[in-house]
Amino acid sequence: MSAPFNADEMRTIVNSIITYVLNGASTKLPIKEKDIMQTIDKKGKLFNAALQRAGEILKEVAVPESKGAKSYICFSEDSGKSLLMHDEKQKNQLILLFIILSFIFMRTTTSIPSISEAYLQNFLKTLHIDFDVPHEYFGNNIRKLITDTFVKQLYLKREKSNSDLETEIKYCYSWGFRAHQEFDKKCLLFATAQIMKKPAKAFGTKYDEVCKDEEDAG
């Protein structure tokens, strides 16, 4: 039977992994296992054991991007504390993200799980937010923020629309993996209802959906 790993070495590697993950959390980009391995210059069984231990310590804030994935995302379940960690520019971007996620949530169904890019653009224009026009509050490059940054951060999923009748490539949007981790659909629904000055129950299908999610989680 092989001897257990040296405790001091294991502790050092675990701390290095945790430091790497937390330092990379601010970008909100997925953290790849291979990048961690290369940075701390460890591999094999020792690295795998240390990674597992670090994962147990970070389980409240870091999860695999998907089942069996070799990359991870860091998120905060405490949105209040999370907001305090952002500068003014990032807070403004989160407001735009909140608007987009709310719109997607309210306009999608089980049978239609995404919305077209054109539909999203038209909605944002009603709020005087244009993909190709600098915005005083949300920044100079709205298109990149929505089609690239939010997508890479896994807040949005942007996929090509499949249609044999159209030659032009079109895209559709749905909630990304990080959005499901960090945003509460019930909060989005109640915020939308408040803005529209309607009771949340007026949005019957969506109200039933968030209630069911609560029951399943409980």
Residues 31 and 102: their CA atoms lie apart, in Å, by 27
pLDDT at 109 over 70: yes
The pLDDT, as a whole number, for residue 137 is: 93
Q: What is the pLDDT of residues 161-171, one digit of tens each?
A: 876 666 788 99
The pLDDT, as a whole number, for residue 107 is: 94
Q: Does the predicted model carry a pTM greater than 0.85? A: no
Concatenated DSSP letters for 46-111? HHHHHHHHHHHHTTTTEEESSTT-SEEEE--S-HHHHHHTS-HHHHHHHHHHHHHHHHHHHH--SS
For 90, the token pair is 């990032």
For 144, the token pair is 């990149």
Concatenated DSSP letters for 159-215? EEPP-TT--S--EEEEE-HHHHHH--HHHHHHHHHHHTT--GGGSHHHHHHHHHHHH
Instruction: Please provide residue 43's backbone torsions phi and psi, each rounded to the nearest 5 degrees.
Output: -155, 180
For 12, the token pair is 């050092």
Instruction: Please provide residue 70's backbone torsions phi and psi, each rounded to the nearest 5 degrees.
Output: -105, 25
pLDDT at 5 over 80: no
Q: What is the pLDDT of residues 72-94, one digit of tens each?
A: 887 765 554 455 566 788 889 98
The pLDDT, as a whole number, for residue 80 is: 46
The pLDDT, as a whole number, for residue 22 is: 84
The pLDDT, as a whole number, for residue 156 is: 97
Contact 18, 12 (CB under 8 A): no
